[in-house]
Structures are given as structure tokens and as C-alpha cells.
Amino acid sequence: MELISINNNKCTFCYACVRACPVKAISIKSTSDELVVNHDRCIGCGNCYVSCGPKAIQYKQSITQVSEFLKSDRKCVAIVDPSIASEFPDILDYRNFVGMIRALGFDFVNEISFGADLIAQKYKSILENFKGKYFISANCPPVYEYVGKFQPHIVDSLIPLDSPMIATAKVMRRIHGDEAIVVAVTPCLAHKKEISGFSDIINDVISFEELRILFNNNNIYENSVEFSEFDQPIGRKGSLYPISTGILDAADFDYTPGKTRMITREGPEVFTRNISDFANISEIKHHLNIFYCHGCNMGPCSKNNVSYLHNHGLVVDYTIKRLGLIDENIWKKNMEMFSDIDFSRRFKVDDQRIPHPPEKKIKEVLKLLGKETYTETGCKSCGYENCYDFAADVSKGLMKPEMCVSFTLKNRQDFVNKVTATNIKLAETRKALEESEAKLRREHEDVKESMTLIKAIMEKIPSSVIIVDSNLKIIQSNQKFIELIGPDAKEIDEIIPGLIGADIKTLLPNQIYNFFSFVLNKGESIDNKDIEINEKFVTLSVFPIKNEKIVGAVFKNLYQSEVRKEEVISRINDVIEKNLGMVQQIGFLLGEGASETERMLNSIITSFEKDNQKKE
């Protein structure tokens, strides 16, 4: 049965519920911080519900179902826990309280105190006639849930009797038949879980919190109803059942130390330890009367559960008042009438224990936590008695190391230190980046200035000049190149000055484009290739500027006189350089003829140079 659920929209991930659960039925997902409820391990104690400040823990609600029951034509019977005395002190007379429940639509209202009286008599018979076997009381559902799941080898030590709630429900079935609706009103969350095995006896359970909501929803208040008494059969000392020794008082069982071997314990802080001691220490020769809460009047579904002393006193005062009103003869007659009902019970084993992990693994967890020397002690903020038990459950997968406060604080400090160190590095990196940015800005300005200078120089050169990148797109070109290409280039230049970014494949013939590709890939220059572009005869030189990245080219228009003379001079110089060696080798044969040839060629060069100087 899924008794507990978690509203992740309300959850603040404080993990108070994880720490509070005595059986670790709530764990943290390994892949996230969300909580998961293991319903098989849950014993219904309600400790998680009480510990949750944001009210993200919710339990199974029965308001809608009970409201439907009350609208039906079937008889509806309410059986009420005697804890009403401490839960509703604002209702000055219990008869008003009974009248309010009837006003909801219940045909009969009975108190669970009568069932407590019946069970108390059975308890007395067992405890006074035991033969060396020691028992654990089974009035509190979390007790037998815990034993069946986590101490299954002592299930037969549970007193094999129904709880007072189930006993009262069986009496109601005897009186009203199987068609009646029986609803219990109780401060105990575990009673909602308990009835899953008694669906033919009891139909539903509502908490005191839910009862208050029903009163408000139906505008039922103390002054809006008449006095009404509980229906018969009415309990006697069973009204003391909400306090831990109440079942023994109802049985008139003398539990004075020294007279009987009975120990009464209560409260979540001692619950698991006491049952474990009973199960595992053979020298304990006592019966154990134990309750998870500090009595039912401090149950998790009570609104008025702040003061144990106050609630204890209210229950005692209520019982004393009731005893003065009870007709002993009628009570005895009722006790005799219903004592033949079978209240025996067999408790099931539902072993939820996880095998103890190897010591090596536990030591690894303790080392991770930095708790190698704290196996017997600890701060207990994780909800465990010591660090060893916590490490064992971490090894089982029931807990995460982050639940250890000191481990989390240490990790947090380490994280802070790392963040601080990272921030220092980031500051240094930022400073370096700012310096780099300033340097790059200066370099950019220098490049910009250089490009302006290069552009100016290129414009002074009489030849067409172009520089391209690794994608053979123009980085820089001069006006002579744009004029060489023709009108299409001029139109592009009006939109994109200098044709920057233009692909030369769209501007130059394929043969010339291949020259550029060759130089870019091979890194070798191509000098003085005579080609024709737009009916202009030019000499092309392509050369690498930066290997495989930048290539430059010069187009010399041979129709320009200054270029033509320069080209003739250049080519004659090339002829001289290429043939001088040969001339020298055959000088012996030609004698003075070689010298004369050299003088003639030099005179031609000089002539051209002088003409050029005169023009300038």
C-alpha cells in the first residue's frame, strides 16, 4: 500500500524526512536530488510527515471516500479513538463532539475504548500465564510492522491479538452486520496501512486532521449541535489506551517493577534500539510494552500534539470523568457478550532486510567520509547513532554520503577553495586577455596603416597588382588591375572598393586562375608569362607572399611605352645574364667579337635608359 507520497513542487530538499525515517524507507535518487519512497520498507510511523516543515510529505487521504459513504443508504458507524480528549480540548463536552460526528451523517458513534477493554483482558490472561516466553505488545501498528520487516525472527514474540481498533470494528460487525460501513477516526497514520488486511472488517480510516476538514466543509461547529452520548457498548478503563501504559491499566495488570517482568517504552528515539535489544540480547527477561509515539495522544495525525504532559493529563481527566458515568453492570454484560469473538491474529513476515555489506566496503565509505576513527560515535545529524551505521547504509544504497553534514561542509569548503583559485586564475586570464586585446588593437591599427600604405604604393605602380588569399579571393588590388579587367570590374569596384573579397575565378580567364592555384599549392613563382586579357597583351608574374596562404601577382601591359621599354631592358638583361657565360666560354674562338657584342648590347640598354630619364 502506498501510504506516503512526496510533492516535489513543495519539497525544499532539506532531507529532514530522510533523517527522520527509522527504517530508511525514503532515499535520494542516485541520478538527482529527488526523493523516493520505498513503500515495502515503510512501517507507517508518520515520522517523515511530522518532520517535514514545507508539508511536502502527504499521506493517503480518505475524505472523498468517507463523504461518499455518508451519502449512501448504508448504515455508517464511526469508531473513535479515546485520544479525542487531548485532540479536541476546545470542545468542552465530549457529548458535543459525538453530536458533531452524528451531524456528518454517521448513524452510530462508538469509542475504541471498548475494544481496548476486550483486548486488555486477553493481554492479562497471556501475561499472567506465560511459561518462560517473553512477549512484545502489538497494539501499535508500527511495532508489528517493524518486527515483521526488520526483526522477522521474533515475529512469534508479538502478542497474537488484534489492535483495539480492529477489535472494536469486529464488535460493530457483530452488532450491525456486514452491510454496515465502519470508519475509524484516529490520530495514528499506521491505522490506514493496517486495514489493508481487514477490508471485510473495517472500510476506511480518517485522521483527526481529516475529521476537522469534514467538520469545516459541512459547517459543523460545537454550538450548532445537541449533546449526544456514545452508543453502546461503551468502554471503561480502555479510555486510557492513548497513554503508553493504558492497555495495562485497562487490564488491571500490575506492572510495578519487582512484581511483574514488564518494561514499557515509548517514543521514536528509543523504538528501534529497544526492539533490537529485545531481539538480540538473551539476558533481557522481560515483556516489552512499546509504542512508536509517546502514546497515541501524540500521534502524527494530531493537530494538538505539542505537549506530552498536557495531553497525558487531558486523557486521564477524561477517563476519570467517564468512569463516574459508566454503569458497571452494563459494561460487564457487554464484555461477557462480546468476549467470544475471535481476536487472535497471526503476524506476517515481510523481510525487508538488506544483507550487511562487506567490512572492506564500509571502511572505504568511512575513509571517503573522513570518519575512520568515528565508528562508535558521531554527531547524529544524519539520523544515525554512529558513523559506522551510516556508512553501512551508504554501502547498501539506502543513503548518500552527502547526508553527512561534516562531509558536505568539507566538500563545500573544498569547492569554495577551488572556486577562489579558479577566480584568481580567471582574473589573471582576464588581465592577459585585456593585454592581448590591447596588443591586437595596436597591431590592427598597424596593419590598417600598413594596408593604407601598401594601397598607396600599389596605386603608384604603373603595372596592375593583385594580392589574394588561400581561397583565391582578393585581399588587395590597385586601380590599374580594375582597368585591366574591364567594365564589369569597375561596376563591382563601385560597390566593393578594391574588389576585396571577390573570387578571381569570376574575373580572370581559367588559364590565369590555374597559375594562381599552382603557386598557392607549390610555393613556386611563375615569372614573365605573356598572356592576353581583354585584347591587351600583358606579361604576368605570380609569386608566393606567404606559403599556401597569400599569393601576389603583377600584370605588365606591354602596350604602355614605359612598361615596354622597362620590359625590353629587363629581357636584355636576362639575355646578357643567360648568355654571358656562354660568350665567355667561346671567347677564345670569337676573340674581340664577343667584347664588341657586349658593348653593343650595353649601348642599347644605355640608350633606352637615357630616353627614359629624359621623359621623366
Reported residue count of the chain is 616
DSSP-derived 3-state class of residue 595 = helix
Residues 370 and 285 in one domain: no
Helices assigned H by DSSP within 497-560: 510-522
Residues 14 and 67 in one domain: no
Whole-number pLDDT of residue 415: 67
572 compared with 247, residue with greater pLDDT = 247
Characterize the bridge pairing of strands 181-186 and 76-80. parallel
Contact 296, 188 (CB under 8 A): yes
Residues 72 and 114 in one domain: yes
Whole-number pLDDT of residue 347: 93
Whole-number pLDDT of residue 377: 66
- Please report the beta strands in 392-508, taking only residues with DSSP state E, as ranges in sequence order: 464-468, 474-477
Contact 192, 59 (CB under 8 A): yes
Residue 465: pLDDT over 70: yes
Residue 168: pLDDT over 70: yes
Is 345 within a domain? no
Residues 202 and 312 in one domain: yes
Residues 423 and 495 in one domain: no
Residue 591: pLDDT over 60: no
CA distance 474 to 165: 95
Residue 432: pLDDT over 80: yes
Residues 27 and 81 in one domain: no
Mean pLDDT in residue range 413-435: 82
pLDDT tens-digit readout, 29-82: 766 778 889 999 999 999 999 999 899 999 999 999 999 999 999 999 999 999
549 compared with 30, residue with greater pLDDT = 549
Residues 32 and 139 in one domain: no
**pLDDT grade for 477, boundaries at 50, 70 and 90:** confident
Mean pLDDT in residue range 10-21: 87
Q: Which residue has the cell 491474529?
A: 345
Lowest mean pLDDT among 118-132, 194-208, 221-235, 546-560: 546-560
Q: Which of 241-245, 408-412, 546-550 has the highest mean pLDDT?
A: 241-245
Sequence-distant (6+) residues with CB within 8 A of 407 are 368, 369, 370, 401
- AA letter at 394: V
Question: Which three cell numbers, joined as nine digits, stand for 348?
Answer: 506476517
Is 77 within a domain? yes
Give the count of alpha carbons within 13 A of 382, CB side only.
Answer: 28
Residues 160 and 261 in one domain: yes
Whole-number pLDDT of residue 589: 45
Whole-number pLDDT of residue 570: 60
Lowest mean pLDDT among 103-107, 245-249, 376-380, 466-470: 376-380
65 compared with 609, residue with greater pLDDT = 65
pLDDT tens-digit readout, 354-406: 888 888 887 887 787 777 766 666 666 677 777 887 878 788 777 777 777 77
Is 70 within a domain? yes
Residue 155: pLDDT over 90: yes
Is 349 within a domain? no
**pLDDT grade for 306, boundaries at 50, 70 and 90:** confident
- Please report the beta strands in 462-525, taking only residues with DSSP state E, as ranges in sequence order: 464-468, 474-477
Range(s) of the domain holding residue 497: 461-559
Sequence-distant (6+) residues with CB within 8 A of 573 are 605
Contact 274, 288 (CB under 8 A): yes
Contact 382, 404 (CB under 8 A): yes
pLDDT tens-digit readout, 556-569: 876 665 555 555 55
Residue 590: pLDDT over 50: no
Is 347 within a domain? no
The distance of Cα 229 from the centroid of its chain, to the nearest Å, equals 53
The distance of Cα 383 from the centroid of its chain, to the nearest Å, equals 21
Mean pLDDT in residue range 586-599: 46
Q: Looking at the 3D structure of the chain, how many domains does it have?
A: 6
DSSP-derived 3-state class of residue 556 = strand
203 compared with 585, residue with greater pLDDT = 203
The sign of the dihedral angle between the CA atoms of 463, 469, 471, 473 is negative
The sign of the dihedral angle between the CA atoms of 446, 447, 453, 457 is positive
Is 346 within a domain? no
Mean per-residue pLDDT of the chain: 84
3-state SS, 194-254, equals HHHHCCCCCCEEEEHHHHHHHHHHCCCCHHHCCCCCCCCCCCCHHHHCCCCCHHHHHCCCC
Residue 586: pLDDT over 50: no
- AA letter at 579: N
Residues 518 and 596 in one domain: no
- What percent of the chain has a predicted confidence (pLDDT) above 90? 40
Residues 332 and 466 in one domain: no
Whole-number pLDDT of residue 562: 54
pLDDT tens-digit readout, 100-152: 999 999 999 999 999 999 999 999 999 888 888 899 999 999 999 999 999 99
